[in-house]
Every structure is written in structure tokens, then in C-alpha cells.
Amino acid sequence: MRGFFLTLLFLILAAAGAVAFALLVPIGPQRETFVDINPGMSSTQIAGLLKKQGIIRSKGVFLALYAVKGRTLEAGEYRFDHPAKMMEVWDRLRRGDVYTIAVTIPEGSNMFDIGARLEAAGLGTKAAFVAAAERDKGVVADLDPAAPSVEGYLFPETYHFARCTSPQGMIVTMVRRFRVEARALGLTGNFHQTVTLASLVEKETPLDTERPLVASVFENRMAKGMPLMTDPSVIYAALLDGRYRGTIYQSDLQANSSYNTYRHAGLPPGPICNPGLKSLAAAMHPAQTNYLYFVAAGANPSGQSRFSATLEEHAKDVAAYRRAVRQGSAK
């Protein structure tokens, strides 16, 4: 009997040691390894996958841990790049500490810019994102039934996307963020006009204090039936046609695009970029002025826009701008 109990004790201690070894001694890859836990996977499937990938030592011990803890494990893609204890692996799956890639979308980015940033981050191709942005406009149909794309509604923000997120999924996330911010801003109606105007404002000045003034110029010109004659819309027209060459040519100004605000009065058919909160607020509440012209801050060496109410004043502002350019290049 003594021999039996000693053997039994030895087996219990060995089993306990094996369990402790599996639980407490780190194991895992020395190089970056991704494990994709799909929705609906059973605990047995998850344990088997982790064991196969070398993330845990024992499938059985992991299942025992699952039985004791009784917590739901979150689906998603997980990144492992160093040996870890089983409890650390368990905690990560329980918290849903999935691997994501951070992408910052600056204010004023258009869908082409966003697609390029996503591609650079390894989140699909620029072409696939642009195609989805032009195709999936139904996600903003309740806000803007006339929207030619989702341009304008991809709110500028820092996002964290899983590597497997589709272009459609990223668009839905960005539009959802726009809805939240627009609601907080009090934007509840006439999204098409407000967001389109805000996109022009966003592209014309980087200065928050000037945004309401730029919006007032556009509003005043539209009230008089004058074309807006804004260069960013011409650039956007060229981007849509795939012919933008980094600068505006006379052929661009003559192009018969509905986005060419030199040839067509009123707002373009839709936003030309994705504006931030300051530009949206300026489009909602333009300043009350009699300005009809301005030399944009982005083109002015002084860093400030010049606003005027008459063509004569505007001509003087343009001449002053050109003098400043010559003086700047002479230094």
C-alpha cells in the first residue's frame, strides 16, 4: 500500500508540476506571429489553434483554465512577438487585446489621400478604398441623398483598424464618427450644402479665425450668382479624372467638369475633402461680411488671407501678394 500511495503521490506531484510548468513558464515565438480567432470558435478550437501556433504548451491546461475562469474569449487577430505565460495569453484574449494599426486622417484629406495613407499602413490598396468610397455612398444616403460618394463624411481622426478590416468596414467606422461629431456640433439638416461648403473652406485656409470669413465670401458670391472660382475644386476635378499633375494648368481651368467652379456657378456636386469641426462650424455660421474676394492664406507668404469687397481692392491684394513672393524668392 505504501508503494501505491507513493506512486500516486508522485503522479499527482508530476501532474501538478506539469500544470504549473504549462501555466507559469513562458513560451511563444521569438518572431512576430499572428493568430486569428474567428467569431463562433469553440474553446477547444481556440486552444488547439494556440497550441499549434506554439503560443501555449498545453491544450488541456488551457481548457482547464477556461473551465475554472468561465470567461468569454474575444474574437479577433492577436499579435504575439515574445514568449509569455499562459495567464498572459488568457488575459489578452479575455480583454480582446486584438492587434490593430493606427492611421491618422488629417483634416482636409480627400478619399485619395486617405486611400494612400491606408495603403502605406498595410491596410489594403488605395485603389480598393477609392472604389469603395465612390461605390458605397448608400451609407450616407439618409444624410445626403445626392452625395456622389462618401467624400466629406469620412471624419478626420486617428483610427485603429485590424489588418483584415475591409474598405467598407473602414468607411462605416469613419462615417459613424462623422455622425457623432456632427450631432455634437448641432448639424442636423442640409448636410449636402453644409459639408460641401465646409470642404471648400477647409482647403482654402489653415487658420481657424479665417474660416468664417472664407465661408462668408462663398455665401456672398453664391447670393450674387457669381462663380466661386476656387482652385481646390479644380484640383479635385482633375483628381477624379486621373489627370492631376501636381499643379493647375489652363486646361484644368477650362475642363468641363461639374467640379470646376470657374466654369460653373454655385457649389460643386459634393464635398472635395473631409472637413474638420472648425470648417463645419464656419459653414454653419459664416461671418456677416460684404467680402467677395480673397487671396488665400495658403498662397500668401504672410500666412494670412487678404479679403476684399471689390475687384479693385482684390487687384491690389493680388499685386501685394506677388510683390511679397518676389521679395521672398530674392532672399
- Model pLDDT for residues 263-278, shown as the tens digit of each residue: 999 999 999 999 999 9
Average pLDDT of 187-199?
95
Is-contact 151 128, C-beta < 8 A? no
Summarize pLDDT for 301-314 with one digit per residue, the tens. 457 889 999 999 99
Q: Does residue 165 come out as left (phi exceeding 0), alpha (psi in the -120 to 50 range) or beta?
A: beta
Average pLDDT of 121-143?
97
Return the residue matching grid coordinates 486617428: 158
Burial code of 57-91, b = ≥16 C-beta within 10 A, e = fewer? Answer: bbbebbeebbeeeeeebebbbbebeeebbbeebbe
Instruction: Specify the pLDDT at position 325.
Output: 66
Mean pLDDT score across all residues of the chain: 90
Instruction: Specify the pLDDT at position 30.
Output: 79
Q: Alpha-carbon distance 170 to 179, whole Å?
A: 14
Instruction: Specify the pLDDT at position 323.
Output: 79
Average pLDDT of 4-25?
59
